[in-house]
Amino acid sequence: MWTRAQLFAWLDATEPMVDRLTPFELLEIPPTASTQHVQRAFHAIAATRHPDVWRNHLDLADRERLIHVYSRVTAAYATLKNEEQRARVLREVREKRPSQPPQPTAVTDRGDRKTEPPPRAARTTIPTEPPSYTPPPMAEGPVPTVHTHATLGARALAFYRRAEASLRVGDSAGALLNLRMALAAEPTSAFLKQAIAETQQKLKKS
């Protein structure tokens, strides 16, 4: 448990630079931290600094400050929980450049349109898509499917690997569960359906 003095020392140190700290710094961990480490660090912060912990011990202004800073820590945790975003943050930290905000996206061009109709030429240069977005490729005709696990997405693959591990130790029931999970992540995969059918047969025999 933290004392008030500890809490205020942390708030005073963190609040002014909360927008500039990397997620790793907010969670007080090195960039090499493992997934479990990230979760442990967040739990430790929650246990000492969650606004609920201090609910009846702070006045309104201090509570507002705590909620503001704590909410930023939660956002840092959310970022590091996501593999993709974590890799991006890690790259930025490794390159030792201050995390540059990406090119800002334009909000909708509505607003003062009535008072000031935009010139036609200007409208053609409005960015039509956020830069990160690429539309999914449209399938044309039957898509040739190669029936191996290499065609699976990351999530389905993770479950497939677990199923393999279960099969190696002879746990067909566990493998079946994980294969079904993989199928939930990738419902169109004929490869997985076949694997499930095979495992079910194996289970029946034993």
Q: Is residue 203 involved in binding other proteins (CB under 8 A)? A: no
Interface pick for other proteins out of 88, 91, 123, 147 (rule CB under 8 A): 123
Closest to other proteins by CB, 114 vs 205, is 114
CB 163 within 8 A of CB 179: yes
Closest CA to 186 of 151, 162, 134: 151
Q: Is residue 161 involved in binding other proteins (CB under 8 A)? A: no
Report the alpha-carbon distance of residue 67 to residue 70 in Å, rounded. Answer: 5
Closest to other proteins by CB, 106 vs 143, is 106
Q: What does the block give as tokens for 104?
A: 């800002």
Taking each helix axis as running N to C, give the angle between helix 154-168 and helix 190-205, from 0 to 180 degrees, rounded to the nearest 10.
Answer: 20
Segment interacting with other proteins, rule: CB under 8 A, options 25-33, 87-95, 117-125, 190-198? 117-125
Q: What does the block give as tokens for 105?
A: 């996206």
Chain-centroid distance, C-alpha 172: 32
Count of C-beta atoms within a 10 Å radius of residue 192: 26
Per the listing, tokens 């289970």 go with 203
Q: Is residue 88 involved in binding other proteins (CB under 8 A)? A: no
Three-state secondary-structure class, residue 30: coil
Q: Is residue 190 involved in binding other proteins (CB under 8 A)? A: no
Closest to other proteins by CB, 95 vs 129, is 129
Q: Is residue 147 involved in binding other proteins (CB under 8 A)? A: no
Count of C-beta atoms within a 10 Å radius of residue 6: 12
Segment interacting with other proteins, rule: CB under 8 A, options 21-29, 114-122, 140-148, 192-200? 114-122
Interface pick for other proteins out of 15, 82, 88, 203 (rule CB under 8 A): 82
Chain residues in the site for other proteins (CB under 8 A): 1-4, 19, 39, 43, 46-47, 50-57, 67-68, 70-72, 74-75, 77-78, 82, 101, 104-112, 116, 118, 122-123, 125-130, 133, 155, 158-159, 162, 173-174, 177-178, 180-181, 184-185
